[in-house]
Structure 1
Amino acid sequence: MSAGKVQWILLFVHLFVIPASAQQNPRPVSMNKVELGFKLDERGVARYAVSFDGRQVVSASRLGFKVKEGFVLDSNFKILKTELSSADETWKPVLGEVSSIRNNYKQLKVFLQQKEAPFLLMNIVFRVFAEGVGFRYEFPIQPSLRFFVVENELTEFNLTGDHKTFWIPGDYDSNEYLYTTSKLSEINAWKFPMLSFGRKEENMPDQHAVQTPLMMKTAEGLYLNIHEAALVNYSSMQLHVDKANYSLTASLVPDAAGNKGYLRTPANTPWRTIIVSDKAPDILNSKMILNLNEPSRIGDVSWIRPMKFMGVWWEMQIGKTSWNYTDNIDSLSANGTLVGNGRHAANTANVKRYIDFASKNGIEGLLVEGWNTGWEEWTGVYKEENFDYVTPYPDFDLEEINRYAKQKNVKMIMHNETGASAANYDRRLDTAFRLMNRYGYPAVKTGYVGKITPVGEHHDGQWMINQYIRSAEVAAKHKVMIDMHEPVRPTGLHRTWPNFVASEAGRGNEWNAFSEGSPPEHETILPFTRLMGGPMDYTPGIFKLRGYAAADPKRQMHTTLAKQLALYVTMYSPLQMAADLPENYERYPDAFQFIRDVALDWDDTKVIEAEPGDYLTIARKEKAKPNWFIGAITDENSRESTVKLDFLDRDTKYDAMIYADADKADWQTNPEAYQIRKMTVDRNTVLKLKLAKGGGAAVSIVPVK
């Protein structure tokens, strides 16, 4: 029996086929408070609209395509037939925020044909959920449309006002910008210096383009999120903003030739997703994007499991040591070997020091970056052959390190930085993963920093979308979990490939090491934006919050220490890093205990309170155990979070360990001040968690023994 069939616990489907004339538009389809309308107008243009609780969310908006073969599938359509169906199933994710997910929707499929030769066919499939709508285009097999090139997707999202918007620029090669909160009409993607390598004309040509997931709030208090699901064999969707009309149009990332996609019938696009509610927590609770992805393609999933790990990583980020072995690859010693710079972090003795700390503290894994040859010159330039993924530097004893780690019961995590030469990585995938299998690596972190090779391709274009999936497929074949850095932002594919356990695809904690950092509100926005599509490897757990950067002694994190702990709960990932140096954790062993204790895989998740850009409090129940963990974070303002513990079991007493900001804690002036207190609680207890400016609180709750 396949993994997909194992996951399907309950399935209930109705199918109604309704013949239709060109003038016969289907009736609206509704679930709970969400309603979808579809019609062909007098010119045969397909349009849809979405409302919530009787309030229009997306007004009549165009659907259609331009195909480079000279066809325009945007008008002159007639309806051949419609199909209305429904489904109600429950499935179990391999890893996740909840133990089971209900997939309940009504589906409307509209079969369209153009009324003039060559009578092209296009279907539009809508799925209406209690929290929103997903839709995609399908191109059936037909005589006049086989292989074709997408010139433009004409999908519109016509909004109803100048909404408050949380956005980052539409850069084809980077998702790592700071979020701006502004009105829709005030969006200007060129207000930021470009982060990606290359020219603005190539990577960010549209001044009014933004990335998805795009989070918005209307003046009437509706929360609205637009993204996509199941991005496979297609270019990622950005959104062009028509500021005068409050309209968004799909803007696909082009390839080196300027094309937006190459398809062969039968084909379909990713799902375009609209999630809406009058309550912010409902946005975070939605599993619609996951539900629009295909079930797992992996049969045996027993090797896929959550992991905590440390990394020989942060010390390079802060400038203490280096990834590269030498500072000048042209500088050779008399015997023809590289001359080391004396600052290379991935040396045997240093790695053993991390292994010792991880082993002592029950941290299962260790990532080592900069272990392999090729780091001296690779970023910002096109270089086809940069890494071979198997050759260590002279001071990294691969055999000895793996022997020592095994002796200490620590799993080594592989690092494969591609330097953006994805073509080179493609050729070497099996070689790289065979090395991991040889030494028993359970997971790999990949990276794509730089200009993509093949030359002219973009991180978010169709070629790279397929490369990320190929990497996950090969990883699955070798039973290795994969964590991708610098990829496209996720779209729920961790349902289909559950070994795709995490990715970066956003502005992570590392930006506090080598830039001005991220403001305190940043982590309250990310769950409503970047994390809507999947887990994020944010690398929390920094304890030395000031004076850590060699390049700038005044640089500091924009959080308190207690907030760094809370991020393990609020920033979901089944692969979590204890990101700081061992010596910094040794300064605060009582606070480090929370990192040791916190779970990574969950039976249940409760979003207690949330407001994008302001605050977030989440409670999660550990998988197959009675333990709960709470994370509460705030922006630059101090506040009190009230948490009712009515989700706890009846007639059970619990020990709650509360890791909180100290009375005078402040992210700017006193960030490392924290306090720990223990109390007995039950389901009638109400916790009052005081959060400092830029602060947070973390709570572990376990039954009294």
Structure 2
Amino acid sequence: MPLFGPLGRRPAGTMLTAFTVLITAWLSPAAATPASDSPTPADTTSDVWRVAPPETKKDQLTADVALDDSTGALSLTVRRGADPVLPDSPLGLRTRDADLTRGLELLDRADRRVVERYEMTTGKQRRVRSPMTESRFALRGEGGVRMDLVVRVARDGVAFRYELPDSAGTVVTGEATGYRLPAGAPAWLLPHTSWYEEVRARTTAGGAPAGDYGYPALFELAAGSANEYVLLTESGMDSTYPGSKLAHTAAGDNGGGAYDVALAEAEVVSPGDLATPWRTAIVGDLAAVTESTLVSDLAPDAEFADTSWIRPGTVSWSWLVEHDSPRDFERQKDYVDYAAAHGWEYTLVDEGWSREWVPELVRYARARGVDILLWFRWWEVDTPEEMDGVFGELNDWGVKGVKVDFMNNGGGEPEGVGRHAWYEDVLAATAEHRLLVNFHGATLPKGLQRTWPHLMTYEAVRGHEYYSFDQPLTPTYNTMLPFTRNVVGSADVTPGTFSMTNRTHTDAHELALPVVYESGLQHPADSPETYARLPEAERVLDQLPTVWDETRYLGGRPGDDAVLARRAGERWFVGGIHAGAAGETEVDLGRLGADDDERLLVELVTDEADGADGADGADGADGLVRESRTVAGDAELTVPVAGNGGFVALVCPAERGRTTCDAPVRTTPATALAVTPATATAEPGDEIEVTGRFAAADGESATLRDVRLGARPRAGWTASGDDAARPVLRPGQALSGSWTVRVPESAEPGYADVPVVAEYRAPGAGRAEPPVHVEQAVRVLVAPPVPRGEAHVGDLHLLTATNGWGPVEVDTSVGEDGAGDGAPLTIGGTTYDKGLGAHAPSRVTVYLGGACSAFTAQVGVDDEVGDQGSVSFRVLGDGTELAATGTLRGADGAQPVTADVAGVDVLTLEVADGGDGISYDHADWADAKVSCA
């Protein structure tokens, strides 16, 4: 049953509350005077109303809303006890018809207690309970226009938003919202870009250069006897309102620290009621900031309840250290094999994958207990029709998730309502097709991971890919992220990259990053060969979960150190990273909650002593050591830390006989599924006899349970014959079946796979775990008509057509990456009317059916790239090479290619790069034709 109907978005202002408990107590409308618990206003010309949290305690957070009697302007002050933390923040909206920043009059105030209860599939805490007080201030402004200010106060921060209720429609032209910070307050700020990948730097609120800054923005403020930190961001985004940023006019440390909310679009057109995102301030010490769930607390509840199909996990990924490897089927199998051997859940195939071999890779991986994720450009799934087609095909292949990239460009405002509408549409479509999502080149997390539980992670961070651009991440930068970017949602930094020689931090620092940085999909970004040379790192990565029950701050300060602990079940994983000279770190295990008389087993991984000066292990040598300690539950560990170093600790109860916190690494038994025939050629209406035999592989000792074997043809194809099933399949036993598969009369020419699937429960698997899926397929060619006479290849039905960049073009050059954007085919100054425009690596197949005798073409690099580019051409008949060229370059003219194709059923035209990368490799098969009977 579909999870959703047609793609669409929620009406403005609606919120699902499946996991939200609202305890409401509406107060008397007589709220035009200060509330009884309000402080005496410092400015007696203002009315002030206090919003206090539901859990009363000493030095609690409160929010004071003030309305200036003389101007009718609103402001908000956040206090810790009696001390202002975030003072005099201006509030209000401007619309095309009314200025709602001045001349406001309070009509009513209503309060309620809100308790958010929900479960996350990702994040720093799986189960969340967050009590808040909400106050709604109903205001009347210019022309009698109504505006509500809604304020929420929680134990870890304050948030507010504006609502325009009972509106026949409006156009917002801006906000008066801003924050007034002490000029000398230390600040950790990110210059704003739509992809949030600039370098965050330490400055001061007043000393930061004039300009725009991205969320989250962290400030350190003096408040009473202890310092407070304020992290500014936004939450509860939807497609009715654009994103925003912080605009700062520099005034110097002795001037002002004013930061105003600037919208990404000049106008916001709303057809009816309007609710803005929550302007969010997380407030407290560094423990409160790093452990906060306020961003997801403020977000709408989950759009669907069944999350059983959502599986976060560890992902093998080749692109960072081998940019061309996603084009290489055999190399991707190496990454699958590594994931399978180490119990990792996924392999991500990044830019360059081919439709020709991905289905086979998926089958190869799933038989080994590994699922495949695929990379896409966002404009490849830009419309509902594209989403349904692409994601439906991924379901047919068995792909389990998508990494979607470059939302920061491709037309339109990347933080505008149109792009946010696309985010909602693609999340609805991927949920419909049960695909996990990883957003890259994207906006910042703003609560959508609660609303859409299959959204595993975002980039929106300068991650490890910058090493390959020769812009290494510094240890100082690394220690800022846990207190800033990663507070508001999962961050796909892709840590665990040991082979980068431009690294300036140690192996233990690098190993700690997947603990310190939370991500629902964690991508250790190095090669199997590198990890094999780092056994201690490998051991930690094999144990590391990506779903956490809770997170605790244990120490550090942005730019200097970060020590975080994350719990999964009974085990705590502690990660510490350091910037600066060698020293020692004190780790208070008492914060993990164990009783004083409880004994804990601690397994500590640090840098070798000679690694104190930097990344001695960057060449792949093992620079890590492990030691075990048994300590009291409230012990303070003194951990030696190398220069720019770090550490990882696994902590678990020290039970009798227990020598390690490691859990066994579960791997999938080796099996064999044989299917006949391997290939077939058929016409619409034909029937194909298919058989399958499934058994454990030779030498495998595992017993398989709940085994089922059957044919699973795609929609429109049918299979007669029952599934074969056995409750237990022991070593040496086999399960066999046979089926008659019928090709539908409506089948289009081309290749179609008829899968035969075996599913079983692996040893040790729980009932809630998905079965292991083993699949082989009969490759069926539904034959198009054979060509007659002299036929241009571009006029025939292309059975397959893959390209290294953009689509294969017919009768034009490849041009750019869009369909139909090529120019006339031109080689060496000669223009050709007919042919194919390709880009290395490329592969095109057409059906000849044994009816043709000769193939001819003029080949070369298209003139549109000048003297650049280098390619080679091959012609194959039924898989056998018939003709080939050497390397041709942009300065070369056209070269003739001929081949004898007598008796050939399938003709294949391949283009390879010249060995120097694929840039500018625009290859033309000009005047390509076959001579047939």
Residue 370 of structure 1 corresponds to: 351
Q: Would you say 1:135 and 2:182 are equivalent positions?
A: no
Q: Aligned-pair distance for 1:30? A: 2.2
Equivalent positions of 1:379-394 (< 5 A) are 392=354
Q: Would you say 1:181 and 2:181 are equivalent positions?
A: no
Residue 298 of structure 1 corresponds to: 304
Alignment partners' CA distance in 1, 2:169 and 2:22:
35
Equivalent positions of 1:633-672 (< 5 A) are 633-646=577-590, 647=592, 649-650=594-595, 653-666=599-612, 668=614, 670-672=616-618
Whichever structure has more strand as a proportion of its residues is 2
Alignment partners' CA distance in 2, 1:240 and 1:523:
25
Tell me which of 433, 452, 458 is aligned to 1:503: 458
Contact 1:26/1:82 (<8 A) preserved: no
Q: Would you say 1:512 and 2:512 are equivalent positions?
A: no
Contact 2:184/2:207 (<8 A) preserved: no
Q: Aligned-pair distance for 1:63? A: 1.3
Residue 391 of structure 2 corresponds to: 433
Distance of aligned partners of 1:686 and 1:209 in 2 relative to their CA distance in 1, 3 Å threshold: same
Residue 237 of structure 1 corresponds to: 244
Alignment partners' CA distance in 2, 1:46 and 1:645:
46
Q: Would you say 1:7 and 2:19 are equivalent positions?
A: yes
Tell me which of 561, 568, 575 is aligned to 2:521: 575
Contact 1:211/1:239 (<8 A) preserved: yes
In structure 2, give the amino acid aligned to 1:367: L
Q: Aligned-pair distance for 1:112? A: 0.8
Q: Aligned-pair distance for 1:210? A: 0.7
Secondary structure of the residue aligned to 1:59 is: strand
Residue 212 of structure 1 corresponds to: 215
CA-to-partner distance for each residue in 1:400-419, whole Å, 9 max, x for gaps?
2122112222111121123x
Alignment partners' CA distance in 2, 1:46 and 1:312:
53
Residue 281 of structure 1 corresponds to: 287
Residue 16 of structure 1 corresponds to: 27
Tell me which of 49, 63, 66 is aligned to 2:94: 66
Deviates more, 1:127-136 or 1:435-444: 435-444
Q: Aligned-pair distance for 1:508? A: 0.9
In structure 1, give the amino acid aligned to 2:221: T
Secondary structure of the residue aligned to 1:212 is: strand
Secondary structure of the residue aligned to 1:517 is: coil
Tell me which of 614, 638, 645 is aligned to 1:695: 645
Equivalent positions of 1:453-532 (< 5 A) are 453=411, 457-532=412-487
Contact 1:161/1:218 (<8 A) preserved: no
Q: TM-score, length-normalised on structure 1?
A: 0.82
In structure 2, give the amino acid aligned to 1:18: P
Q: Aligned-pair distance for 1:648? A: 5.9
Distance of aligned partners of 1:404 and 1:680 in 2 relative to their CA distance in 1, 3 Å threshold: same
Contact 1:22/1:80 (<8 A) preserved: no
Q: Aligned-pair distance for 1:176? A: 0.4
Q: Aligned-pair distance for 1:346? A: 2.0
Equivalent positions of 1:307-386 (< 5 A) are 307-316=313-322, 321-322=323-324, 345-372=326-353
Q: Aligned-pair distance for 1:652? A: 5.6
Equivalent positions of 1:668-683 (< 5 A) are 668=614, 670-672=616-618, 673-683=623-633
Q: Would you say 1:264 and 2:291 are equivalent positions?
A: no
Alignment partners' CA distance in 2, 1:667 and 1:262:
57
Deviates more, 1:396-405 or 1:487-496: 396-405
Tell me which of 112, 119, 134 is aligned to 1:85: 112
Q: Aligned-pair distance for 1:686? A: 3.0
Secondary structure of the residue aligned to 1:282 is: helix
Distance of aligned partners of 1:122 and 1:667 in 2 relative to their CA distance in 1, 3 Å threshold: farther
Contact 2:505/2:615 (<8 A) preserved: no
Residue 53 of structure 1 corresponds to: 81
Deviates more, 1:268-277 or 1:91-100: 91-100
CA-to-partner distance for each residue in 1:355-399, whole Å, 9 max, x for gaps?
112112221210011244xxxxxxxxxxxxxxxxxxx26xx5123
In structure 1, give the amino acid aligned to 2:361: I
Residue 804 of structure 2 corresponds to: none
Alignment partners' CA distance in 1, 2:177 and 2:520:
34
Contact 1:617/1:641 (<8 A) preserved: no
Q: Aligned-pair distance for 1:685? A: 3.7
Alignment partners' CA distance in 1, 2:118 and 2:330:
46
Q: Aligned-pair distance for 1:422? A: 7.2
Alignment partners' CA distance in 2, 1:274 and 1:424:
34
Contact 1:648/1:682 (<8 A) preserved: no
Q: What is the aligned length?
A: 612
In structure 2, give the amino acid aligned to 1:464: R
Secondary structure of the residue aligned to 2:538 is: helix
Q: Aligned-pair distance for 1:497? A: 1.0
Equivalent positions of 1:96-175 (< 5 A) are 96-114=123-141, 116-117=142-143, 119-142=144-167, 146-171=168-193, 173-175=194-196
Distance of aligned partners of 1:219 and 1:558 in 2 relative to their CA distance in 1, 3 Å threshold: farther
Residue 404 of structure 2 corresponds to: 446
Q: Aligned-pair distance for 1:663? A: 1.5
Contact 2:139/2:147 (<8 A) preserved: yes
Distance of aligned partners of 1:474 and 1:481 in 2 relative to their CA distance in 1, 3 Å threshold: same
Q: Aligned-pair distance for 1:22? A: 9.0
In structure 1, give the amino acid aligned to 2:203: S
Alignment partners' CA distance in 2, 1:416 and 1:398:
14
CA-to-partner distance for each residue in 1:159-194, whole Å, 9 max, x for gaps?
2332111111122x2310111111122222xxxxxx
Q: Which has the higher contact order (CA 8 A, sep 6+)?
A: 1
- Among the aligned pairs, what percent are the same residue? 25
Q: Can you give the 5+ residue segments of structure 2 that lack an aligned partner in the other structure?
A: 5-14, 35-45, 659-933
Secondary structure of the residue aligned to 1:14 is: coil
Contact 2:536/2:624 (<8 A) preserved: no
Deviates more, 1:30-39 or 1:503-512: 30-39
Secondary structure of the residue aligned to 1:214 is: strand
Residue 558 of structure 2 corresponds to: 612
Secondary structure of the residue aligned to 1:135 is: strand
Contact 2:192/2:198 (<8 A) preserved: no
Secondary structure of the residue aligned to 1:613 is: coil
Secondary structure of the residue aligned to 2:451 is: coil
CA-to-partner distance for each residue in 1:225-280, whole Å, 9 max, x for gaps?
111111112211111113332111111112xxxx3422232110000011222x21
Tell me which of 535, 559, 571 is aligned to 1:627: 571
Q: Aligned-pair distance for 1:520? A: 0.6
Distance of aligned partners of 1:445 and 1:606 in 2 relative to their CA distance in 1, 3 Å threshold: same
In structure 1, give the amino acid aligned to 2:340: S
Contact 1:22/1:79 (<8 A) preserved: no
Alignment partners' CA distance in 2, 1:168 and 1:54:
31
